[in-house]
Every structure is written in C-alpha cells, then in structure tokens.
Amino acid sequence: MTAVPPPISASGADRAAPHAETAHGTVRGTLEPGVAVFRGIPYAAAPVGAHRFRAPAPPEPWEGAREAVAFGPTAPKRPYAPPLDRLLPDPEVPGDSCLNLNVWTPSPARTGLPVLVWIHGGSLLHGSSAVPLYDGAAFARDGVVFVSLNYRLGIEGFGVFPDAPANRGLLDQLAALGWVRDNIASFGGDPDLVTVCGESAGAISIGALLAAPRARGLFRRAVLQSGAPSALPLDKGRRTTELIAKRLGVAATARDLAAVDPAALLAAQTSVTSGGSPLTGGNSFQIVVDGDLLPREPAEALRDGAASGVDLLMGSNTEEYRLWFVPSGLTERLSRTKLQLALMKFKVPGATARTYRANRPGATPGELLGALATDLLLRVPLNRLADARTGAVGGTHLYEFGWPSPVQRLGACHGLEIGFVFDNLDRPDAVALAGRDAPQELADAMHTAWVRFAVSGDPGWPAWDESRPVMLFGPGAPGTVRAPRDDELRGWAPYRGQR
C-alpha cells in the first residue's frame, strides 16, 4: 500500500502552496511561474498483488494533505533501443503506484475552465507523463486545465489472456477520465468541457475510447495526432503474449505470468518486441476487439457514427517515417527489390506506387516506401474517417505538420509536432528532435489552435467538407490548403467515404 503523506503543517510555505480536494483526500501541489501544479495524484490502486492483470480499482483514501509535488512512479518499461534512445528520452520513476496523473491549472480557485487530458504515445511499450516535453504549463498559462496520465504498458496493460480482462491499459485511461469527471472542478476545470488529446499510441487509444460505449460522456472533443483508430481481433492480439510466454517456458495465462520475476518478464517482452517499428511491423502490443469495452473494430464503428457529437481534430506529419527510417539507415539501405516485396506485402496498387514515385523524382526506395507507409497507416484512414463524418453532428478538422527538422535529416518526422503543440521548444527533448532554432511563430500558431479547439471546438480553419480543407503547419507560414496531394489519396481505395 502506498505510504500516507504527513498531514498538513502550519508553516507559511505550506499555507502558500496550492491545495485541492479530491474524492480520496486533499492534495498539496506547488506554485510555479503563473500556474499551480499537482503531480503524482493516484487515480487508481497500484496494479500489483491482487490488482495485477486486473481492471483498475479505486485508490485507498488518505488523511491529511498528500504531497503532489513530484511525478509518480512510471509503468514498467524499458528505454527505447538505440538509436532512438538519443532522440526520445523516457524517464523512469520507480515504484508500484504507476496509475497516477498530474494537473497544471491557472488556479484551483477558478471555475469553469476548459480541460485538456493528454495520453502519451510510445507504441504501448514506452513513455509516461514524466517526459519533460509534456509539461503542461503553457496550456495552464493560456487558461486551460491540463491533465497528463500514466497507464499500464506492454504485457501488463495489453497482454491478452484467457483469465484476465483485455485492454487493461485502455481501462486505466477510462478510469483516469472518470477521475477527471469527478474531481477536475476542484482544480478549476469544467467536467463538461473536456478534450482528450494524444499522439501515436495515445491517439490510437483515443480512437478506441471514441468507439467505446463506456466512454461516452467523459469528453466533448478529441485530438488525434499521428495515430488512426485501429484494433486487432482477439486471436491476433494474443500472439505477442504467447511468444513471451513461450520464451519464458510458461503458459500464456495471467496466473502463470504473474508468477514470473518482473525483471525477467520485462526482459522477455523486450526480446520479443524488438527489431520492428510501427511502419515496418514486428511483434507488438495492440488494442483488441474484446467484445466488452470494444464491441467493434474502432475505425469501422467511428465511420458508422459512434463518435457523433464529439468534435475531432486529427492529423499527421508529412514525413512520419523518417523517425524510424533515417536513424537506422533504412532510407539508404533499402533496395529496389525489397521495395517491390514490401509493396506486394502491403498490397499497394501499381498505379498508386507510380504516382508517389512521379511526385518524388529523386526519392530513394526507402523514402518511397516511407511515404507510402505513412499515408497507408495514417493519412488515408484519417481522411476516410473525416469523409464519413461529413455533415455529421460534431465538427471535424484536419491538419498536416510539414516543418522539416534539420537534425539528422529527420524532416517532418513522427513526434516532431509535440514540442510545437505544447509550446515547449526550449525543452531538451524538443531540441533533440527540432534543433535550437525551431520557429517559435509556428509553435505559437499550433499551440493557439489546440487551445482554441479545447475552448470552442474551432481551431481556426474551416471544418471538413467536400472541399477537404487541411491546415498545413509548415514549411513556411501556416495556411489552409484544399485537398493536398489528392492524386495520391485517390490511389487508395476505398476513398471519399466509401466503405
């Protein structure tokens, strides 16, 4: 059980510290320039012992004021493998109580402020709310209560067992959103004005939450950055769990894997899931259609109107693939023969490949494969979803981030937009991806758009319609373009709302 913090003292410093009442007890945060911050608040019990591989349970109440000045424990994970570890820092905070969240607010004394809840990415294997880039001070500075959360990762959160609920990491996110509904008013937020926002695996998670009947009413708006709604059937989602169990010589059940030393379980997970990427494939953990939380495949459910009434802001980066292809050397290493094999594997129509090649006359085979994979996995499904929502209740806005980073020829790669959205270009992890001279005016534009969307549902450009407006954030000044690179999108079927 988590130790109970000491009761409130009577010192002057303590009286100046911000306090907030939650359903489980009082929390004491810290004042930082212009904002009040509360870190490491438990929204569920530690997922260990009887709670291991189970749906999240409520945290134990506490007496007195709980210190909420430092990030709480992170979910069990390993760092990114080289060379990504140098580009994507992934802090680790030890401890069992990893189901915790953080709040940045202009003041707990305010009322009725919009709320933005951040769900981090990391392929459902990495990441946490303690990543420096995810500091929410700029949102609080601009009148938005910002919440970030941890959830279970890897086999702990997304392993598929016959004797445990599936999608436990998604259930964690649902529990955190329930905490926001019940408690955010104490931090100045409006529980009826919640926007949920995520990138990569965080965006994929939000796609599932949008399709989950149990999540209805927990948020009014959603932002999907570089992640499209998707999920696997249970039998396919079980494969990675079975491979890990086989490596350890135990049955692929929650009971047997819970008896394995946690370090050995994490080592086996790393071994089984290494060597691939979200674009090239490999063994991975995925959200699954479990017939309970997710009765249907999310993309299909959303195209049929499951998120009617929820405003959506969605988009991707022009060169998502470069985060994986460039540092690994795949852009230069991939041969024409391997490109052809990949095109056959992904069933890319010949005419489509020729269009992409004609539009990129100097591209290497690796760059062509990256452009095709980026659109197949991100731009095409997001456009299809936008098409299906044309005329539906709830606005839909699309963006594309195209500013090219000069760092290691990363270009407009996966994850690069986050520092701009958070207005945190001075953070070391933002500098690692974008360099020291990234355009502040672009951060001003993106951050303002996200704030506007959280406040009103209108980020500042036309909603999706038959003219297909997309806000391009770089290169150059931001501006709306109608149907960008439409010749490439037309090469993928179905298209324009067809199913």
Residues with a known catalytic role = 200, 320, 414
Residue owning tokens 């990234």: 438
Neighbours of 212 (CB within 10 A): 23
Q: Which of 269, 370, 372 is nearest to 327 (CA)?
A: 370
Q: What is the 3-state secondary structure (H, E, C) of 275-342?
A: CCECCCECCCCCCEECCCCCCCCHHHHHHCCCCCCCEEEEEEECCCCHHHHCCCCHHHHCCHHHHHHH
292-326: b or e for each residue (b if 16 or more CB lie within 10 Å)? ebbebbbbbbbbeebbeebbbbbbbbbbbbbbbbb
As a whole number of angstroms, the distance between CA 339 and CA 329 comes to 15
| DSSP track, 87-115 | TS------SS---EEEEEES-TT--SEEE
Q: Say how many Å lie between the first and final Cα of the chain, rounded.
A: 50
Asked if residues 27 and 20 have their Cβ atoms less than 8 Å apart, the reply is: yes
Number of residues written out for the chain: 499
Helix pair angle (239-248, 262-273), 10° resolution: 120
As a whole number of angstroms, the distance between CA 357 and CA 353 comes to 6
Partners of 115 in beta bridges: 145, 194
Name the strands in the sheet holding 25-28, side by side, starting at the edge strand that comes first in the sequence: 19-22, 25-28, 65-67
Residue owning tokens 């052809």: 340
